[in-house]
Amino acid sequence: MDLRPRMWAISKGQKAVAEGDPLVEYIPTSHVGVEIGGGVGLHYHYGTLGQLEHGVNYADAYLKTIGKETNSSRPLKTWPYENGSTVKLFILAGHRNMEGERAFVQELITLNDKKSLLNDNGNIAFKYNIGGGYKTSRGWEPLGPAGFYDTFGPELSFGGTLQDKLPDKNIAIAKFTHSGSQIVDWTPEGSVAKSRNLYPNFIAFIKESIQELEDKGQQVELAGIFYHLGENDMSFGPHRKNAAKWLQSIVEQSRKDLSQSTLKWYVSQQPPTDDERVNSIDVVAALEAVATADSNLVHIKAFNLPKQEKKLVIDTAAIVQLGELIASSYLDQE
């Protein structure tokens, strides 16, 4: 994050070469799993997981050039909502843990009481744009595991919890994430790395989701935006210091651009890094202050997730619990 201008310059050069030569293809890697080390944050090196995923990216790119499909089709065979009925649309957004970087379907199988989450749920329409656009849904799909590298995010347990508690409601979920992003990338102003600015695409994604549902004959209620705070932003001093201010700017501008002055935001936060180099920046208190001043912003403290093997990036069981927690927070507000 501290070398953002230089990294942007390198990526611009790489993309310029690819754009100028029809036999060269640029392979995105910023969404790839990174190694979690000591100190105060993530280390932007691959480690075993990232090396495996890096190889998959190259293979997928090659297969695409020879016309071989790598993504399986997940059609929503029957539209689940009656024509003219109201659909509650839930927007899930965020970084590595909202994307589900270290949550794998193979591990979900071992959670006996959660195995049903593996099944496609045709009663909840689901669309997504993940990895900063690395993978997008083909229109609306059934809610189910859809991440690249056999991963999934909190949307599975989130949708399941809502469906259990609101069986008479129509629910749709749209997810927009980029595991390689930081909070500054989501702000309306963005950063010096202009190609990493996500805000315009994020707002366009929400508007598109609403319009698509309306085009199918639904009345749409935007139930809220559920945003999980950036993991490394809680460790890197300059970003930790500005996190609350940046979040507030995203929330306020989104309400203007979506013409919903009372749009609910549900902002979840896992425990920030505990290190003497950053502990003087009380990011929890700063976020609490923003939420206290905004009656339509709910600050969700995800401080009791299962113990993690890695730092910052949470695993399968914790991703499931995170989805349940943010769903329960919404239900508590109803």
Alpha carbon 136 to chain centroid, angstroms? 12
pLDDT band for 39, please (50, 70, 90 cuts): confident
Please say if the pLDDT value at position 70 is more than 80: no
What are 78-102's pLDDT values in tens digits?
999 999 999 999 999 999 999 999 9
Q: Which two tokens stand for residue 67?
A: 């016309």
Q: Provide DSSP, 211-223.
A: HHHHHTT-EEEEE
CA dihedral 247, 253, 257, 259 (to 10 degrees): 100
Alpha carbon 278 to chain centroid, angstroms? 25
What is the structure's pLDDT at 171?
98
What is the structure's pLDDT at 133?
94
Q: Provide DSSP, 132-144.
A: TTTEE-SSSEEES
What is the structure's pLDDT at 325?
98
Span 238-243, mean pLDDT? 95
Please say if the pLDDT value at position 42 is more than 80: no
Please say if the pLDDT value at position 2 is more than 90: no
pLDDT band for 227, please (50, 70, 90 cuts): very high
Delimit the domains of the chain by residue range: 4-65, 86-333
What is the structure's pLDDT at 190?
95
What is the structure's pLDDT at 292?
98
Please say if the pLDDT value at position 197 is more than 90: yes
pLDDT band for 45, please (50, 70, 90 cuts): confident
Which of the listed CATH numbers 3.40.50.920, 3.40.50.720, 1.10.760.10, 3.40.50.1110 matches domain 86-333?
Answer: 3.40.50.1110
Contacts of 177 (CB under 8 A, 6+ apart): 92, 93, 94, 95, 98, 99, 128, 129, 130, 131, 153
What are 205-217's pLDDT values in tens digits?
999 999 999 999 9
What is the structure's pLDDT at 167?
94
What is the structure's pLDDT at 40?
80
Q: Which of 48-57, 66-75, 220-229, 307-316 has the highest mean pLDDT?
A: 220-229
What are 122-146's pLDDT values in tens digits?
999 999 999 999 999 999 999 999 9
3-state SS assignment for residue 209? helix
Please say if the pLDDT value at position 238 is more than 90: yes
Task: Give percent of the chain above pLDDT 90.
Answer: 83
Exposed (0-12), middle (13-18) or buried (19+): which is 28, by Cβ within 10 Å? middle
Q: Report the mean per-residue pLDDT for the chain.
A: 94
Span 23-38, mean pLDDT? 87
pTM of the model: 0.96
- Tell which wins on pLDDT, 71 or 246: 246
Burial 255-279 (b: 16+ CB within 10 A, else e): bebbeeeebbbbbbbbebbeeeebe
- With CA atoms as reference, report the closest residue to 76 among 125, 3, 149: 125
Rounded CA-CA distance 170/328 in Å is: 17
What is the structure's pLDDT at 311?
82
Span 251-269, mean pLDDT? 98
pLDDT band for 183, please (50, 70, 90 cuts): very high
Span 143-152, mean pLDDT? 95
What is the structure's pLDDT at 93?
98
Please say if the pLDDT value at position 169 is more than 80: yes
Task: Give percent of the chain above pLDDT 70.
Answer: 100
Place of tokens 């995923």: 53
What is the structure's pLDDT at 41?
77
Please say if the pLDDT value at position 21 is more than 80: yes
Q: Which two tokens stand for residue 2?
A: 């501290």
Q: Which two tokens stand for residue 248?
A: 């507030």
